[in-house]
């Protein structure tokens, strides 16, 4: 079954880590194994993808900023992405005076 999701019409929730709206989940389209969210960060805000037993993808759709992986800081801009396996984490933030939009995809741990 094909489901069209107009992400521009989904309500954004304000959090301590910017604004967020889920764009892929069971309620929206019946997705059982994946959750995806769009996140908007303004200058001074940060988002931390915490380590868990899940696989995660962070994809920077708009803007520029930095991402911290294993205590190393990397400059990133639109089109950059990072895969996080179980037990890995990352923190992303916009560059000074900038904002960014990212896609955060989360998939349960795949059984061995």
pTM for the whole thing?
0.87
Nearest-angstrom CA–CA distance, 73 and 66 = 6
pLDDT at 111: 61
- The answer for residues whose C-beta is within 8 angstroms of residue 90's C-beta and 6 or more apart is 48, 49, 58, 67, 68, 69, 82, 84
13 pairs with which residues across the strands? 20
Per-residue pLDDT of the chain (112 residues; tens, 9 = 90+): 677 778 788 889 999 999 999 988 888 787 888 889 999 999 999 999 998 889 999 999 999 999 999 999 999 999 999 999 989 999 999 999 999 999 999 998 666 6
């Amino acid at each position: 079954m094909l489901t069209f999701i107009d992400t521009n019409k989904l309500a954004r929730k304000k959090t301590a880590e910017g604004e967020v709206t889920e764009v892929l989940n069971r309620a929206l389209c019946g997705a059982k194994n994946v959750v995806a969210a769009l996140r908007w960060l303004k200058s001074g805000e940060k988002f931390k993808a915490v380590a868990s037993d899940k696989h995660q993808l962070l994809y920077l759709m708009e803007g520029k900023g930095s991402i911290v992986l294993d205590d190393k800081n990397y400059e990133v801009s639109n089109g950059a992405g990072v895969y996080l396996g179980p037990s890995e984490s990352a923190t992303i933030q916009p560059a000074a005076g900038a904002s960014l939009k990212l896609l955060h995809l989360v998939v349960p741990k795949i059984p061995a």
